[in-house]
Amino acid sequence: MAIVRDDSTGLITISTQNTSYQMKIDSIGSLIHTHYGAPIGESDMSPQLFRMIRGFSSNPNETGFTDRAYSLDVLPQEYSCFGTGDYRITSLAVRYENGAKASRLKVQDCEILPGKYGIEGLPAVYGDDNEAQTLKVTLKDEETDLGVELFYGVFSDYDVITRSARIINNSDTTITLEKAASLNFDLPSGSWDWITFYGRHAQERCLSRASVRHGIEAIGSVRGISSHHYNPFSVLCEPTATETAGSCYGFALVYSGEHLMEVERDSIDQTRLVCGIHPDNFSWILKPGESFNTPEVIMTYSHDGLGQMSRNFHRIMRERLCRGPWKHRRRPVLINNWEATYFDFTGQKLLEIADEAESLGIELFVLDDGWFGVRNDDDKGLGDWFPNEEKLGMTMQELTRKITDKGLLFGIWFEPEAISEDSDLYRAHPDWAISIPGRKPAIDRRQLVLDYTREDVRDYIKTCLLKMLDENPISYIKWDMNRSISDKFSHGLDAKHQGEFAHRFVCGLYDVLETIYERHPEVLIEGCSGGGGRFDAGMLYYTPQIWTSDNTDAYDRLRIQYGTSFGYPLSAMGAHVSAVPNHQTGRVVPMHTRGVVAMAGTFGYELDITKLDEGDKAEIREQIKTFHRYYDLIQYGEYYRLSAPEDYCTVWEVAAIDKKEALVSAVYHGIPAYPPAVRVPVFGLDPTANYQIDILDLDEKYAKDYEKLTWQSTHIINGIVMSGAALEHGGITVPPPFFDGIAWQIFIHRLEDG
Ligand code: DGJ
């Protein structure tokens, strides 16, 4: 049993394979958090909570005269409330009809349910009765009849616990939620580092690690989307935690909108993390009988460092968050025309690219921005989702037929939430664009955003998309969103409900995505928001892959994909080989290396392949063969970060679950002259088995240089046999760089006869 409840003590212990989570209903009905970490069996951890009388830490009224050491201000809790004596960052702030803003929750009930709970209208991890259990704890504020249901989804085999809360107004008056977080997590002792992922357009998910200091720190988004700027994912870990050792807690919010993750280290060195919807743009009215569901948080704990924590996230997101036929279907190698042509194309040009793509072994042709309305640059046309046949020089049906006749799949770009002021849609429905009456809205990429809180707007967009899907053989959609949302206001909401706008927008987006998914589950949707501006667990429920960044430079991608890998699987990361000099950085990186970097994701190309020389074309054919050969390993293998991209050689590994093979990839970038050797451990293999090492693409040309250098370095690993133990504990030395920017792929496979 993953969840055990002892009614005599009030103890509830959740066990997963390698973790325990424990809470206790104490003598006055508070739900106290007692442990999350390595397994503890069912030992009651509550006596370990240090108690003493603390000045200015209020006591609940019922203990104030009998037990002055009892204070919600210091006790670790499962869901903290504002206004009744816990002065730390809070999970729940409710404004009642009389103007007061104070709640106090006590446990009413506790149920253990088979399977994983779902959340109406919101994405969530799923699991059947055989693999998941749900703990539901019902709490109540006795004075106001406010109800809170806390949900814990337990996936023992995944070492994952999910959390969500439902706030219910059981009273006969209207209340307003001013904050309703998804999770409160208290660590009663220890020093912790907080790892977060900041960024900007074309530089997403840069890792930031710092010790949690006294006070409050926060990351979040008020941009309407989860944002390039702060990903809704973070880690609390021991200051000494590394990739392979130390306690790490990871939190991924399953939400694509405005979020807030706060951490507080209080005056007695306790650490609290609260995360959920950002309260700045949020106030939600609950009439009597109404309820509000918070988004979900996926949590995992690893005793063995950041690597294992990431692998737990990869597995649960890949297997129990992504859905539909494309979850396990081989994702096609694609060619996207964006960096090849930008807006400047004709149907004929697209067909030339498609011709070349077919001959190179590419499987999916993606037509990016510019095929609709009057859209020859980025200041008009959004919303007019009608093919521009004059520009194409043919109908969309002709184009798609010609492309699919070549044996390619066809995919197309939409930006379904966007509207240009210079569009027929805007001229017909100016009130469908988000703006505040009497105020000219801020413009971003010269565009506005459709008001997805409105059903009529969503219905219109659904009709446009479904019509395109019904009339054309479309196998793939790139779902883009190219601005932050400002001037939030809906003509469909009255003044009192404008505080609901930001969350209703996200629910509206999920509604449109769900409709498309339900009607066309066979269509692969790739999420995108100016690259990775909405790379979050919420989107993965609808779009099993997401364009990681508009930055396709291979060196920059090493860092962006490294940061992204902390929370998200390789199968989610759109990664393409693009032209050199790179359009974002001007850097020239060898074609082979661009391929190695892009293979650590959902693989594709984004350059004018009609202009390549025969050498590059041959290299592309090889890359596609390599990608197919190692597809399962890359997409489903266990991922290890072997070195960080700060240094001059970035190395990562994928190891097969059955331990039969592993692929180590290494990229040299910015080497110093005569660099020191790069020795890395190879993880995830059977220590007692023997493995052969094969360096891929060690062709004649490379072999010559390689021999010269190996002679110099007396280092030869190609073809040698090592045990799994030697590979892990001794490690392998990455072949030397005979020029900057070289990449190596090292395939390690088990010798069956030992
Ligand atoms: C932003 C995306 O990230 C790009 O890949 C491309 O699709 C452009 N939008 C098109 O406008």
**Looking at ligand 1, which residue's alpha carbon is closest to its atom 9?**
530
Query: Does 631 map to a domain?
Result: no
Hey, which of 528, 543, 545, 602 would you mutate to test ligand 1's pocket, going by the most ligand atoms within 8 Å of its Cβ?
Answer: 528
For residue 498, the 8-state DSSP code is G
CA–CA gap between residue 249 and residue 234 (Å, rounded): 8
The CATH number that applies at residue 462 is 3.20.20.70
What's the gap in Å between 344 CA and the centre of ligand 1? 14
- What pLDDT does residue 734 have? 92
What stretch of H or E contains 398?
A: helix 396-405
pLDDT tens sequence across 457-495: 999 999 999 999 999 999 999 999 999 999 999 999 999
pLDDT tens sequence across 536-573: 999 999 999 999 999 999 999 999 999 999 999 999 99
Q: Is the dihedral of CA 112, 115, 119, 123 positive or negative?
A: positive
What mean pLDDT comes out for the span 351-366?
Answer: 98
Instruction: Read off the tokens for 40.
Output: 């503890």
User: Is pLDDT at 48 greater than 90 in this prediction?
Assistant: yes
User: Does residue 305 share a domain with residue 185?
Assistant: yes
What's the gap in Å between 598 CA and the centre of ligand 1? 17
Tell me what percent of the residues of the chain surpass a pLDDT of 70: 97
**Could you identify the atom of ligand 1 that is nearest to the CA of residue 478?**
7
User: Does residue 651 share a domain with residue 676?
Assistant: yes
Query: Does 158 map to a domain?
Result: yes
User: Does residue 249 share a domain with residue 161?
Assistant: yes
What's the gap in Å between 531 CA and the centre of ligand 1? 7
**Could you identify the atom of ligand 1 that is nearest to the CA of residue 528?**
3
Instruction: Please count the other Cβ atoms lying within 10 Å of the Cβ belonging to residue 452.
Output: 26
Dihedral, CA of residue 154, residue 155, residue 158 and residue 159, to nearest 10: 20
Q: Which of 547, 566, 601 is the last residue of a domain?
A: 547
Q: Which of 316, 333, 364 is the last residue of a domain?
A: 316
Instruction: Please count the other Cβ atoms lying within 10 Å of the Cβ belonging to residue 750.
Output: 19
Instruction: Please count the other Cβ atoms lying within 10 Å of the Cβ belonging to residue 68.
Output: 15
For residue 611, the 8-state DSSP code is G
**Could you identify the atom of ligand 1 that is nearest to the CA of residue 378?**
11
User: Does residue 677 share a domain with residue 537?
Assistant: no
The answer to whether 151 and 120 have CB atoms below 8 angstroms apart is: no
CA–CA gap between residue 95 and residue 184 (Å, rounded): 20
Query: Does 649 map to a domain?
Result: yes
User: Does residue 236 share a domain with residue 134?
Assistant: yes
Instruction: Please count the other Cβ atoms lying within 10 Å of the Cβ belonging to residue 54.
Output: 15
CA–CA gap between residue 591 and residue 596 (Å, rounded): 9
CA–CA gap between residue 221 and residue 208 (Å, rounded): 17
User: Is pLDDT at 711 greater than 60 in this prediction?
Assistant: no
Instruction: Read off the tokens for 453.
Output: 């809180």
**Could you identify the atom of ligand 1 that is nearest to the CA of residue 413?**
7
What's the gap in Å between 425 CA and the centre of ligand 1? 21
User: Does residue 126 share a domain with residue 269?
Assistant: yes
Q: Which of 287, 316, 345 is the last residue of a domain?
A: 316
Q: Shortest CA distance to 120 belongs to which of 546, 460, 416, 514?
A: 514
CA–CA gap between residue 429 and residue 459 (Å, rounded): 14
Instruction: Please count the other Cβ atoms lying within 10 Å of the Cβ belonging to residue 729.
Output: 11
Confidence of residue 735 (pLDDT cuts 50, 70, 90): confident
What stretch of H or E contains 405?
A: helix 396-405
Number of domains composing the chain: 3
pLDDT tens sequence across 179-199: 999 999 999 999 999 999 999
User: Does residue 281 share a domain with residue 181?
Assistant: yes
- What pLDDT does residue 267 have? 96
Query: Does 37 map to a domain?
Result: no
CA–CA gap between residue 465 and residue 160 (Å, rounded): 36
Tell me what percent of the residues of the chain surpass a pLDDT of 90: 95
What mean pLDDT comes out for the span 335-343?
Answer: 98
User: Does residue 277 share a domain with residue 208?
Assistant: yes
Confidence of residue 200 (pLDDT cuts 50, 70, 90): very high
User: Does residue 334 share a domain with residue 295?
Assistant: no
**Looking at ligand 1, which residue's alpha carbon is closest to its atom 2?**
530
- What are φ and ψ of residue 57, in 5° steps? -105, 105
Instruction: Please count the other Cβ atoms lying within 10 Å of the Cβ belonging to residue 601.
Output: 26
User: How, if at all, do strands 284-286 and 193-200 pair?
Assistant: unpaired
DSSP letter string over 289-309? T-EEEPPEEEEEEESBHHHHH
**Looking at ligand 1, which residue's alpha carbon is closest to its atom 1?**
530
What mean pLDDT comes out for the span 256-275?
Answer: 98
The answer to whether 157 and 319 have CB atoms below 8 angstroms apart is: no
Query: Does 33 map to a domain?
Result: no
pLDDT tens sequence across 603-639: 999 999 999 999 999 999 999 999 999 999 999 999 9
Ligand 1 neighbours, Cβ below 6 Å, are: 338, 368-369, 413, 480, 482, 528, 530-531, 547, 550
Strand partners, 276: 181, 260
- What pLDDT does residue 704 have? 64
What's the gap in Å between 375 CA and the centre of ligand 1? 13
**Could you identify the atom of ligand 1 that is nearest to the CA of residue 368?**
7
**Looking at ligand 1, which residue's alpha carbon is closest to its atom 10?**
369
Q: Shortest CA distance to 166 belongs to which of 192, 205, 136?
A: 136
How big is the chain, counted in residues?
754
The CATH number that applies at residue 706 is 2.60.40.1180
User: Does residue 494 share a domain with residue 373?
Assistant: yes
Instruction: Please count the other Cβ atoms lying within 10 Å of the Cβ belonging to residue 439.
Output: 9
Domain that holds residue 382: 325-547
- What pLDDT does residue 697 have? 81
Q: Which single residue is written with the structure tokens 């331990």? A: 659
What's the gap in Å between 368 CA and the centre of ligand 1? 7
The answer to whether 186 and 76 have CB atoms below 8 angstroms apart is: yes
Query: Does 168 map to a domain?
Result: yes
The CATH number that applies at residue 134 is 2.70.98.60
Q: Is the dihedral of CA 592, 596, 602, 606 positive or negative?
A: negative
User: Does residue 175 share a domain with residue 254?
Assistant: yes
CA–CA gap between residue 415 and residue 447 (Å, rounded): 11
The answer to whether 364 and 409 have CB atoms below 8 angstroms apart is: yes
CA–CA gap between residue 521 and residue 535 (Å, rounded): 21
User: Is pLDDT at 721 greater than 60 in this prediction?
Assistant: yes
**Could you identify the atom of ligand 1 that is nearest to the CA of residue 606?**
5
What's the gap in Å between 641 CA and the centre of ligand 1? 29
Task: List Cα–Cα distances, 344 to 336, 369, 451, in angstroms.
Answer: 14, 10, 30
The answer to whether 239 and 211 have CB atoms below 8 angstroms apart is: yes
Query: Does 568 map to a domain?
Result: no
Among all residues, which ones are annotated catalytic? Answer: 480, 550
- What pLDDT does residue 43 have? 97
- What pLDDT does residue 748 have? 98
Strands ordered across the beta sheet of 3-6: 3-6, 11-16, 19-25, 31-37
Instruction: Please count the other Cβ atoms lying within 10 Å of the Cβ belonging to residue 710.
Output: 17
User: Is pLDDT at 754 greater than 80 in this prediction?
Assistant: no
Q: What is the CA radius of gyration of the chain?
A: 27
- What pLDDT does residue 753 have? 56
CA–CA gap between residue 715 and residue 483 (Å, rounded): 51
Q: Which single residue is written with the structure tokens 């995944």? A: 158
The answer to whether 713 and 685 have CB atoms below 8 angstroms apart is: no
Query: Does 48 map to a domain?
Result: no
- What pLDDT does residue 674 have? 86
User: Does residue 350 share a domain with residue 228?
Assistant: no
